[in-house]
């Protein structure tokens, strides 16, 4: 007999069926045993009568045992119907139970919301935490958001292209995670901080409209809305100006909210545009929270912040790989606004140069950032000269980009959304760990897999690495 999902049981009243799942609750009434069975689609009450062949097994079993249960779907007596509850008008009369796996006593209760459980314990046993209804719902809504994002970009003639995870260490902003090469002694790959260079090279390759659900890895300090590895919606378009990119993304973000979160209200459409200067003067932040009622969790105040300064003076606390007196505010690949291109080429009025960067903000969080890019090698080279790099270093680190730009790269621009952060906000969660299947702790540790961890001396020798005290 084929398995029936619990969500479909109401269509099988009077029939004998098989369900498979976990015991959520068990109540031994003496002669009879009641239990709630759970699978990925929902919950149903089961009753094991005294005459059932399964009664002895039912008295032995405990919560979170994994079972195959066969029985008959019955209508509940009128007085026992629970209105507004899934399967509240039916129950399963159990004929037989097959124990697929037993469960020891769980380290914490997953039947209620686990938010009050010590987070380190939750993350150590994350596979248990994932069974919790709230966390399950976060995973399912994350899936729906990503699926709809994909569908919407495809509707707009974008194609999804995967870019490499083993790449070159270049000074883009944060610290790289590096990977030693076994075959090439003393040389290293780097894990991508973002697909930034690859997506621009796809524009050189004539892809024109690219997107990707991309893993990004940065060796930087964690916080509530940041992890060492995170997920981006990454996109790039050729032959566009700033407004073209913003329009496409605004329409897709609006569609996601209105389709998947009809209970939420977007405060203002189209999203308001605020200059960086105005944001800092008026709100003291380049991520302003524009909600008129900050106590309303279903109010979404999107806005665009535009016209950022391209460069800023370096500080000792900068977490960027910098060489000179100036560093970039966002990334070095942005293009100045047209009226400031001459300043860049002449390397003058550097502090006054405005970039074509645009950030999309939601309720005080930056959920995306992008720009129109430099597509001409002379302009990109000037950026790195301003940052303090000599010509030989520029060629060593970015020669592949400069060469591509000499070979017919079109004007292009794009954006990347922080998908984890977007899901966090839409799900009204306090941090992104609640919407990632297997997150790290706030200190970048994985208590479940016990990593980072040491590797064997044999591995170190193969990689030509010696660990210093």
Give the number of other Cβ atoms within 10 Å of residue 469's Cβ: 2
DSSP 19-39: EEEEEEEEEE-SS-EEEEEEE
Tell me what pLDDT residue 320 has.
Answer: 52
CB 325 within 8 A of CB 388: yes
Q: Which whole number is the average pLDDT over 347-367?
A: 96
Please tell me the distance from the alpha carbon of residue 227 to that of residue 234, in angstroms, as a whole number: 17
pLDDT tens for each residue of 393-447:
999 889 999 999 999 999 999 999 999 999 999 999 999 999 999 999 988 999 9
Using CA of residue 85, residue 90, residue 94, residue 95, what is the dihedral sign? Answer: negative
Tell me what pLDDT residue 236 has.
Answer: 98
Mean residue pLDDT across the chain:
94
- Which residue is associated with the tokens 């380049």? 286
Q: In this structure, are strands 273-275 and 302-306 parallel, antiparallel, or unpaired?
A: parallel
pLDDT tens for each residue of 80-114:
999 999 999 999 999 999 999 999 999 999 999 99
- Tell me: cis bond preceding 169? Omega within 30 of 0 counts: no
> Where on the phi/psi map is residue 10: left (φ > 0), alpha (ψ -120 to 50), or beta?
alpha
Measuring CA to CA, how many Å separate 461 from each of 181, 458, 464, 469? Answer: 12, 5, 5, 17
Please tell me the distance from the alpha carbon of residue 111 to that of residue 108, in angstroms, as a whole number: 9
Tokens of 370: 């992008």
pLDDT at 219 over 60: yes
pLDDT at 319 over 70: no
In which element (H, E) is residue 256 found? helix 242-260
CB 76 within 8 A of CB 91: yes
CA-closest candidate to residue 142, choices 402, 417, 444: 417
Tell me what pLDDT residue 10 has.
Answer: 95
CB 263 within 8 A of CB 335: no
DSSP 118-176: -HHHHHHTHHHHTTSHHHHHHHHHHHHHHHHHHHHHHHTT-EE----SSB----SSSPP
pLDDT tens for each residue of 428-438:
999 999 999 99
Confidence of residue 314 (pLDDT cuts 50, 70, 90): confident
Q: Which whole number is the average pLDDT over 245-273?
A: 98
CA-closest candidate to residue 44, choices 94, 108, 116: 94
Tell me what pLDDT residue 323 has.
Answer: 55
Tell me what pLDDT residue 220 has.
Answer: 83
Helical H segments across 335-463, by residue range: 341-346, 377-386, 391-405, 419-426, 457-462
pLDDT at 268 over 60: yes
Using CA of residue 189, residue 190, residue 195, residue 196, what is the dihedral sign? Answer: negative
Confidence of residue 321 (pLDDT cuts 50, 70, 90): low
Tell me what pLDDT residue 1 has.
Answer: 83
Tell me what pLDDT residue 174 has.
Answer: 80
CA-closest candidate to residue 90, choices 19, 2, 1: 19
Instruction: Indicate yes or no: pTM above 0.75.
Output: yes
Tell me what pLDDT residue 324 has.
Answer: 61
- Which residue is associated with the tokens 């200067």? 277
Residue 326: partners with Cβ closer than 8 Å, 6 or more residues away: 311, 312, 313, 314, 350, 386, 387, 388
Domains and CATH numbers, the chain: 6-101 (2.40.50.140), 128-308+357-375+410-457 (3.30.930.10)
Of 92-106, 122-136, 210-224, the one with minimum mean pLDDT is: 210-224
pLDDT tens for each residue of 444-453:
999 999 999 9
For the chain, percent of residues with pLDDT exceeding 70 = 97
């Amino acid at each position: 007999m084929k398995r029936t999902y619990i969500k479909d049981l109401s269509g099988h009243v009077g029939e004998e069926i098989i369900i498979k799942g976990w015991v959520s609750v068990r109540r031994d009434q003496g002669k009879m045993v009641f239990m709630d069975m759970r699978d990925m689609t929902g919950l149903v009450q089961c009753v094991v009568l005294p005459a059932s062949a399964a009664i002895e097994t039912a008295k032995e079993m405990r919560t979170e045992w994994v079972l195959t249960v066969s029985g008959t779907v019955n209508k509940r007596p009128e007085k026992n119907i629970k209105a507004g509850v899934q399967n509240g008008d039916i129950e399963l009369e159990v004929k037989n139970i097959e124990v697929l796996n037993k469960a020891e006593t769980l380290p914490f209760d997953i039947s209620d919301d686990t938010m009050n459980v010590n987070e380190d314990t939750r993350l150590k046993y994350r596979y248990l935490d994932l069974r919790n209804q709230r966390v399950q719902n976060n995973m399912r809504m994350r899936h729906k958001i990503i699926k709809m994002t994909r569908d919407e970009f495809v509707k707009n003639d974008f194609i999804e292209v995967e870019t490499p995870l083993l790449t070159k260490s270049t000074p883009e902003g944060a610290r790289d995670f590096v990977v030693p090469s076994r075959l090439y002694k003393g040389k290293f790959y780097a894990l991508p901080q973002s697909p930034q260079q690859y997506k621009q090279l796809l524009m050189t390759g004539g892809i024109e409209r690219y997107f990707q659900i991309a893993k990004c890895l940065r060796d930087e300090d964690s916080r509530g809305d940041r992890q060492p590895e995170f997920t981006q919606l990454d996109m790039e378009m050729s032959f566009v100006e700033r407004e073209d990119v913003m329009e496409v993304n605004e329409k897709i973000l609006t569609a996601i909210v209105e389709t998947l979160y009809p209970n939420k209200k977007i405060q203002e459409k189209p999203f308001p545009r605020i200059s960086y200067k105005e944001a800092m003067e008026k709100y003291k932040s380049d991520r302003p929270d524009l909600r008129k009622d900050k106590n309303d969790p279903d109010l979404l105040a999107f806005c665009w912040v535009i016209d950022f300064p391209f460069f800023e003076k370096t500080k000792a606390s900068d977490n960027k790989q910098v060489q000179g007196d100036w560093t970039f505010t966002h990334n070095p690949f942005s293009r100045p606004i047209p009226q400031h291109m001459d300043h860049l080429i002449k390397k003058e009025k550097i502090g006054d140069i405005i970039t074509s960067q645009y950030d999309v903000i939601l309720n005080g969080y930056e959920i995306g950032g992008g720009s129109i890019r430099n597509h001409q090698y002379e302009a990109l080279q000037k950026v790195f000269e301003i940052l303090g790099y000599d010509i030989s270093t520029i060629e060593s680190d970015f020669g592949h980009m400069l060469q591509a730009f000499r070979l017919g790269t079109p004007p292009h621009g794009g954006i990347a959304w922080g998908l984890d952060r977007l899901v966090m906000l839409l799900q009204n969660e306090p941090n992104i760990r609640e919407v990632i299947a297997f997150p790290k702790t706030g200190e970048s540790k994985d208590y479940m897999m016990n990593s980072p961890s040491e590797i064997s001396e044999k591995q170190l020798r193969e990689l030509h690495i010696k660990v210093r005290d």
